[in-house]
Amino acid sequence: MKNTENFSQEHHKFLRARKRKSILIQCLRIGLLILLLGIWELSAACGWSDPFLTSSPSRIAKTIGSLYTEGTLFYHIGVTLAETLTGFFIAVLFGTAAALLLWWSDTLRSVLEPYIVVLNALPKIALGPLIIIWCGTGSKAIVFMTILVCIIVVIMHMLNAFIMTDQNKILLLRSMGAGKLQLLTRLVIPSSLASFISMLKVTVGMSWIGSIMGEYIVSKAGLGYLIVYGGQVFRLDLVMGATCILCSLAAIMYFCVVLLEKLLVKNTQT
Amino acid sequence: MNEILTFDHVSYIYHTKRDEIEALNDLSFSVREGEFVAVIGPSGCGKSTLLSLAAGLLTPSAGSVNCSGSVGYMLQRDELFPWLTIEKNIYLPLTIKHIKTKEIYERARARAVKYGLGEFLASYPFQLSGGMRQRAALIRTLASDPDVLLLDEPFSALDYQTRLNVTEDVAAILRKEKKTALLITHDISETISLADRVLVLTARPARVAHAHELMFDGVVNPLKRREMSAFSGWFEILWKELNA
């Protein structure tokens, strides 16, 4: 459809200006990061701040490097990643299924509504001791914590999306003779796709909260373990290093969801 | 002529926590096969309830609604599904009714091509103009060959120019396909330009206050009707009856 040769001089100018602007923004973003890291490094090097308390970019890099040479870097990343992803997928799967069930039955929804509200408001960390007793001190407890933190959000988000389905479209399908199952498969689920993606984006963040919180309570390995351990032995380089890795992992997971969104939501500009 | 849709002393009451609202009260009328009937009434008089009853989505509180055929519903907005292509949208009534017959799908497709949607079959709704989308909605409604078309203010969401064109469009398609139609609207001139017969409803609870056969010497084209001298006469009559 697009034929660049047909564009007027003005339009080419407009496109060039737009491109220049977006390059500028990219440069500024990277520049800001370099500037912040530079100030941080400089303040540590010049003794304006105590690197024992604030660490510094070079020390963080060195710490991550030594974890790598010890061969434990990918082990810790792997442990936390596995826990987070397992919890994330289980929560999304069962949460969405539960939301479907609640959409299906008005009575069930009314009955369970106060329970969901209370569970949502409850700080999940309060269940820490219970989780340790029920699930032991292994990865199971951490996955369970992750599920707990995520699942209510998934249920509430998806249920809301299912309920918000356009009433006129429901009327239209019913006038065609559609039953409840057809309403669900033909309309409610496809029209909730955008909400599903936005739910995934929220849940990515929640799942990291869950797994790291779980590792704070009980763990022998993982990034959360490194952070807690680093804090206890006052190795703030380790704390900062693990945090940086965590940041990049969460960002990668988020961009995976954005990629999924691009694949799934192509045709709906309305 | 055969009566295809009959309302026989129909009442309908909505129940809410605080109130019960009588939407229709002792409403009787019938629609004959091949006829274009328009129902006008003051806003909020229960017109949409009337269509839901006709479509069998609601059961009357008293009286009975008889429809000796299948119905197709067309709403104010096109309500095309944004995640389906125009072609898939048009087949929607067929997929819902679990129709597998290839010929019926081919007929729906042929109708879309005949009425100028051929090049848009693979497009998505957002790529079409408002007028084209409403036309696609009509072709979708016709896909399962309903005996009666229920039109719920199908033009009111369009801008004026598009609206005149789409009205023209829909009238031509419905006359060509020899469909029975029941239109509800609050637009007097639309009513006069389209209908064979008009029912004027009272305010809630709605009853039929007046009924008119619109004679335009056999002219059915909406724009031509608008140019005829009888048009303004009918406008005045209906305006007075609506505001009575």
Instruction: Give the pLDDT confidence of B187-217 residue by residue, as tens digits.
Output: 898 899 889 999 998 888 888 888 888 888 7
Q: What is the 3-state composition of chain B as percent helix, strand, coil, each rounded to the nearest 5?
A: 40, 25, 35
> Contacts of residue A169 in chain B, CB cutoff 8 Å?
79, 81
Question: Shortest CA distance to A84 belongs to which of A155, A139, A158, A157?
Answer: A139
Residue A269, pLDDT > 70, answer: no
DSSP state of A251: H
B96, B124, B134, B182: which to substitute to probe chain A, counting the most A Cβ within 10 Å?
B96
| pLDDT computed for residue B49 by the predictor | 87
Q: What value does the mean pLDDT take over residues B55-84?
A: 89
Residues within 8 A of A (CB atoms), B 62-101 only: 71-73, 75-77, 79, 81-83, 92-93, 95-97
Gap between the Cα atoms of B27 and B207, Å rounded: 5
| pLDDT computed for residue A18 by the predictor | 93
Gap between the Cα atoms of B31 and B44, Å rounded: 22
Average pLDDT across chain A, whole number = 91
- Which region among A95-99, A118-122, A258-262, B168-172 has the lowest average model confidence (pLDDT)? B168-172
Nearest-CB residue to A178 (from B55, B72, B96) = B96
| pLDDT computed for residue B186 by the predictor | 85
Find the residue in B nearest to A172 (Cα). B73
Residue B17, pLDDT > 90, answer: no
Gap between the Cα atoms of B230 and B12, Å rounded: 36
Residue B105, pLDDT > 90, answer: yes
> Contacts of residue B128 in chain A, CB cutoff 8 Å?
none
| pLDDT computed for residue A172 by the predictor | 92
Instruction: Give the pLDDT confidence of B110-147 residue by residue, as tens digits.
Output: 989 988 889 999 999 999 988 889 889 989 998 988 99
> Contacts of residue A189 in chain B, CB cutoff 8 Å?
none
Alpha helices per DSSP H over chain A = 9-45, 51-54, 57-70, 73-104, 106-121, 128-135, 139-163, 167-175, 180-182, 189-191, 193-217, 223-232, 236-264
> Contacts of residue A167 in chain B, CB cutoff 8 Å?
none
Strands B180-185 and B20-32, how do they pair?
A: unpaired
Question: Shortest CA distance to A112 belongs to which of A124, A103, A102, A127?
Answer: A102
Residue A149, pLDDT > 80, answer: yes
3-state secondary structure of B180: strand
Q: Do A175 and B126 touch (CB under 8 A)?
A: no
Residue type, A95: G
H or E stretch covering B90? helix B86-90
Residue A267, pLDDT > 60, answer: no
Residue A263, pLDDT > 90, answer: no
Question: Shortest CA distance to B187 belongs to which of B226, B138, B224, B221?
Answer: B226
> Contacts of residue B76 in chain A, CB cutoff 8 Å?
168
DSSP state of B5: E
Residue A257, pLDDT > 90, answer: yes
Task: Identify which has the larger pLDDT, A1 or B182.
Answer: B182
Confidence (pTM): 0.84
pLDDT band for A4, please (50, 70, 90 cuts): low
Q: What are the DSSP calls for B117-172, one per residue?
A: -GGGTTS-GGGS-HHHHHHHHHHHHHTT--SEEEEESTTTTS-HHHHHHHHHHHHH
pLDDT band for B160, please (50, 70, 90 cuts): confident
pLDDT band for A270, please (50, 70, 90 cuts): very low
Structural tokens at position B201: 């409803």
Instruction: Give the pLDDT confidence of A29-75 residue by residue, as tens digits.
Output: 999 999 999 999 999 888 888 888 888 899 999 999 999 999 899 99
Task: Evaluate the CA torsion angle A228, A230, A233, A234 in order and state its sign.
Answer: negative
Structural tokens at position A111: 């009955």
Find the residue in A nearest to B150 (Cα). A175
Gap between the Cα atoms of B150 and A172, Å rounded: 11
pLDDT band for A266, please (50, 70, 90 cuts): low
Structural tokens at position B239: 């305006």
Ordered structural domains, chain B, with CATH: 1-69+149-154+179-244 (3.40.50.300)
Contact B55, B150 (CB under 8 A): yes
Residue B89, pLDDT > 90, answer: yes
Q: Do B83 and A267 touch (CB under 8 A)?
A: yes
pLDDT band for A5, please (50, 70, 90 cuts): low
Torsion of CA A47, A51, A57, A58, to 10 degrees: 80
- Strands, sheet with B3-15, edge to edge from the N-terminal-most edge strand: B20-32, B3-15, B62-67
Instruction: Give the pLDDT confidence of B4-14 residue by residue, as tens digits.
Output: 899 999 999 98
Find the residue in A nearest to B93 (Cα). A176
State residue B130 phi and psi, 5-degree precision: -55, -45
| pLDDT computed for residue A218 by the predictor | 86
Gap between the Cα atoms of A118 and A225, Å rounded: 30
Strands B180-185 and B197-201, how do they pair?
A: unpaired
Contact B73, B53 (CB under 8 A): no
Structural tokens at position B232: 């303004």
Q: What value does the mean pLDDT take over residues A133-139?
A: 87
Torsion of CA A234, A240, A245, A247, to 10 degrees: 130
Residue A133, pLDDT > 50, answer: yes
Gap between the Cα atoms of B24 and B60, Å rounded: 9
Gap between the Cα atoms of B194 and B185, Å rounded: 11
CB pairs under 8 A between A and B: 56
| pLDDT computed for residue A101 by the predictor | 96
CA distance A270 to chain B (A): 6
Residue B77, pLDDT > 70, answer: yes
Residue B125 burial (C-beta neighbours within 10 Å; 0-12, 13-18, 19+): buried
Gap between the Cα atoms of A87 and A214, Å rounded: 11
Q: What value does the mean pLDDT take over residues A67-84?
A: 92
